[in-house]
Structure 1
Amino acid sequence: MTNFDQQSTVQNKFQTRQRRERIFLIASILIVVAAWFYGYYANGIEITPLVPDVLPGTEYIETQGDLFIGYAADNTIVGYAAAGEGAGYSGPIKILVGVDPSGAITGVKTIKQRETPSFFRLVMNANILADMIDKQVSDPFQLGEDINAVSGATLSVEGIAASTREAIRIIARKGLDQSGPAEIFSFKFGIPEITLILLFAAGYFGHKMSNSAWKRRTRWASLLTGMVVLGFIYTAPFTITMVVSLLSGYWPDWHNNLYWYLLIGGILFVTTVNAKNPYCHWFCPFGAVQECVGLITKPKSYRPRNYITALKWFQRGLTLAAVVLGLILRRPGVAGYEPFATLFDFEGTGIQWAFLALILIASLIVYRPFCSYLCPLDAVVDLIGAIRKWMREVKRKWQNQNV
Structure 2
Amino acid sequence: MQIWKRKKILIFTACCCLVLTAIYQHFITKQDTLSMLQRAEPAAASYKELEGVYPTYELFNQSRKFLSYAVLSSASGYGGSITMLTTINKKGRIDSAVILENAETPTYLKRVMESGYPENLQGQAVAKSLKSNQKLDAVSGATRTTEGILTAVQKGIAQVGKNQLDIAVPKVASYHFQWEDGAIVLLLILTVVAAILKLKKFRIPLFIASVMIIGFMAKSSLTLGNFMSILMNKMPVITERPVWFLAVFGILVVTFILGKNVYCGWLCPFGAIQEGIYRALHLSNNRVDPKIMSASKKSQWILIWLAAMLGLFFHNPGIASYEPFSPFFGGAGNTAQWIMMGMVLVLSIFVLRFWCRCFCPVGSVLDFIAQMKRKWKKIVHRKPNFQHVIGNSEASRCSSCQSRHSVCQKKEKNKASLSFFNKLIISFIVIMDFLIIAALLQNAGLI
When the two structures are superposed, what TM-score results if normalisation uses the length of structure 2? Answer: 0.74
- Rounded Cα–Cα distance in structure 2 between residues aligned with 1:392 and 1:31: 31
Instruction: Show CA shifts across 1:302-350 (max 9, x none).
Output: 5525434422221222223222321232211100110011111122333
The one of 129, 139, 159 equivalent to 1:140 is: 129
8 Å contact from structure 1 (residues 272, 388) kept in 2: yes
Instruction: Show CA shifts across 1:330-383 (max 9, x none).
Output: 211100110011111122333322111111111111111100010012211232
Deviation at 1:396, TM superposition (A): 4.8
For the structure 1 residues 117 and 393, does the alpha-carbon distance in structure 2 shift closer, same or farther, using more than 3 Å as the test? same
The equivalences for 1:183-262 within 5 A come to 183-202=172-191, 204-205=193-194, 208-209=197-198, 215=200, 217-262=201-246
The residue aligned with 2:313 is: 328
The equivalences for 1:54-203 within 5 A come to 54-55=40-41, 58=43, 60-64=45-49, 66-72=55-61, 75-142=64-131, 147-169=136-158, 171-172=160-161, 175-176=164-165, 182-202=171-191
8 Å contact from structure 2 (residues 261, 366) kept in 1: yes
The residue aligned with 1:347 is: 332
For the structure 1 residues 48 and 167, does the alpha-carbon distance in structure 2 shift closer, same or farther, using more than 3 Å as the test? farther
Instruction: Supply the AA of the counterpart residue of 1:224.
Output: I
The residue aligned with 1:6 is: none
SS at match of 1:307: helix
The reply to whether residue 291 of structure 1 matches residue 280 of structure 2 is no
8 Å contact from structure 2 (residues 107, 334) kept in 1: no
Instruction: Supply the AA of the counterpart residue of 1:89.
Output: Y
- Rounded Cα–Cα distance in structure 2 between residues aligned with 1:139 and 1:257: 24
SS at match of 1:94: strand
The residue aligned with 2:419 is: none
Deviation at 1:151, TM superposition (A): 2.4
8 Å contact from structure 1 (residues 223, 288) kept in 2: yes
The residue aligned with 1:9 is: none
The reply to whether residue 366 of structure 1 matches residue 351 of structure 2 is yes
The one of 358, 363, 367 equivalent to 1:378 is: 363
The reply to whether residue 312 of structure 1 matches residue 297 of structure 2 is yes
Deviates more, 1:345-354 or 1:225-234: 345-354
- Rounded Cα–Cα distance in structure 2 between residues aligned with 1:18 and 1:205: 39
8 Å contact from structure 1 (residues 84, 163) kept in 2: yes
For the structure 1 residues 285 and 108, does the alpha-carbon distance in structure 2 shift closer, same or farther, using more than 3 Å as the test? same
Deviates more, 1:189-198 or 1:264-273: 189-198
Deviation at 1:247, TM superposition (A): 1.2
Identity %: 24
SS at match of 2:86: strand
- Rounded Cα–Cα distance in structure 2 between residues aligned with 1:145 and 1:280: 40
Instruction: Show CA shifts across 1:87-143 (max 9, x none).
Output: 322232222211112222111122332321111122212223233222222333347
For the structure 1 residues 173 and 375, does the alpha-carbon distance in structure 2 shift closer, same or farther, using more than 3 Å as the test? same
- Rounded Cα–Cα distance in structure 1 between residues aligned with 2:4 and 2:369: 15
SS at match of 1:197: helix
Instruction: Show CA shifts across 1:150-185 (max 9, x none).
Output: 222222123212321343245446643557554321
Instruction: Supply the AA of the counterpart residue of 1:39.
Output: Q
For the structure 1 residues 178 and 18, does the alpha-carbon distance in structure 2 shift closer, same or farther, using more than 3 Å as the test? farther
Deviates more, 1:90-99 or 1:44-53: 44-53
Instruction: Show CA shifts across 1:20-59 (max 9, x none).
Output: 8877776665554444333333322445245456447x36
The reply to whether residue 39 of structure 1 matches residue 25 of structure 2 is yes
- Rounded Cα–Cα distance in structure 2 between residues aligned with 1:45 and 1:300: 59
Deviation at 1:391, TM superposition (A): 3.4
Deviation at 1:274, TM superposition (A): 0.8
For the structure 1 residues 373 and 16, does the alpha-carbon distance in structure 2 shift closer, same or farther, using more than 3 Å as the test? farther
Deviation at 1:195, TM superposition (A): 3.9
Instruction: Supply the AA of the counterpart residue of 2:111.
Output: L
Deviates more, 1:146-155 or 1:223-232: 146-155
SS at match of 1:106: strand
SS at match of 2:243: helix
What is the count of residue pairs matched by the alignment? 380
Gaps of 5+ in 2: 385-447
- Rounded Cα–Cα distance in structure 1 between residues aligned with 2:214 and 2:365: 21
- Rounded Cα–Cα distance in structure 2 between residues aligned with 1:46 and 1:159: 25
For the structure 1 residues 153 and 300, does the alpha-carbon distance in structure 2 shift closer, same or farther, using more than 3 Å as the test? farther
- Rounded Cα–Cα distance in structure 2 between residues aligned with 1:206 and 1:394: 25
- Rounded Cα–Cα distance in structure 1 between residues aligned with 2:378 and 2:29: 40
Deviation at 1:242, TM superposition (A): 0.5
8 Å contact from structure 2 (residues 46, 62) kept in 1: no
Instruction: Supply the AA of the counterpart residue of 1:304.
Output: D
Instruction: Show CA shifts across 1:257-294 (max 9, x none).
Output: 12212221221121111111221111211111111221
Deviation at 1:74, TM superposition (A): 5.5
Deviation at 1:390, TM superposition (A): 4.4
The residue aligned with 1:337 is: 322
For the structure 1 residues 143 and 312, does the alpha-carbon distance in structure 2 shift closer, same or farther, using more than 3 Å as the test? farther
The one of 319, 338, 341 equivalent to 1:356 is: 341
Deviates more, 1:328-337 or 1:152-161: 152-161
8 Å contact from structure 1 (residues 299, 367) kept in 2: no
The reply to whether residue 264 of structure 1 matches residue 248 of structure 2 is yes
* RMSD after superposition: 3.4
8 Å contact from structure 2 (residues 45, 61) kept in 1: yes
Gaps of 5+ in 1: 1-14
For the structure 1 residues 276 and 53, does the alpha-carbon distance in structure 2 shift closer, same or farther, using more than 3 Å as the test? closer
Instruction: Supply the AA of the counterpart residue of 2:338.
Output: W
- Rounded Cα–Cα distance in structure 2 between residues aligned with 1:190 and 1:153: 18
Deviates more, 1:352-361 or 1:386-395: 386-395
